[in-house]
Amino acid sequence: MLLALWGTIQQLVFGKTFGDNPAPDAFLVGFLIVTVILCYLLIATSLKTIIDSENVFIKFGFLKRQIRMNKIKSVSIIDYGFVGGWGYRMSKEYGTIYSVSGSKGLYLVLQNGGKLVVGTQNIDELQRFIDKNMKDFNHLQAN
């Protein structure tokens, strides 16, 4: 973002071309606007997970997902590592990963073979929930 801002200021305010083959002013302004919007979205994106007796709800920025408990084969808490960054990721080992920080999360294996991880900063609270509530579902196998 700083490079886009610096280049735009150099070219539009100081009249110095930015680079050997400078972009048109309109392009620089558009690029700066898109860069600022993307940076804002990255900063403002949050991950919210709600687990009740029937569903796991995941809200990650604009993405929403609901998983019914009867579609879950197993559940555990894992340390999935960095897996190439935070955000919405795909992994061969863990399937879909929703993460905004850290490396620990709720790992779900679905009845259809699908897998996903939802990152969390509340490991202890999540473990207590699993220990207390997941035993009520005969179709779940806590790992």
pLDDT number for residue 136: 52
Alpha carbon separation from 2 to 8, 105, 115, 116 (Å, rounded): 10, 33, 38, 35
Residues 31-63: tens digit of each pLDDT: 888 888 888 877 777 888 888 878 899 998 888
Q: Identity (one letter) of the amino acid at 70?
A: N
pTM: 0.66
Domains and CATH numbers, the chain: 2-44 (no CATH), 47-142 (2.30.29)
Residues 77-92: tens digit of each pLDDT: 898 887 666 778 888 8
Is the confidence at residue 115, as pLDDT, over 90? yes
pLDDT number for residue 66: 95
pLDDT number for residue 89: 82
pLDDT number for residue 84: 60
What's the rounded mean pLDDT across residues 118-135? 82
pLDDT number for residue 111: 92
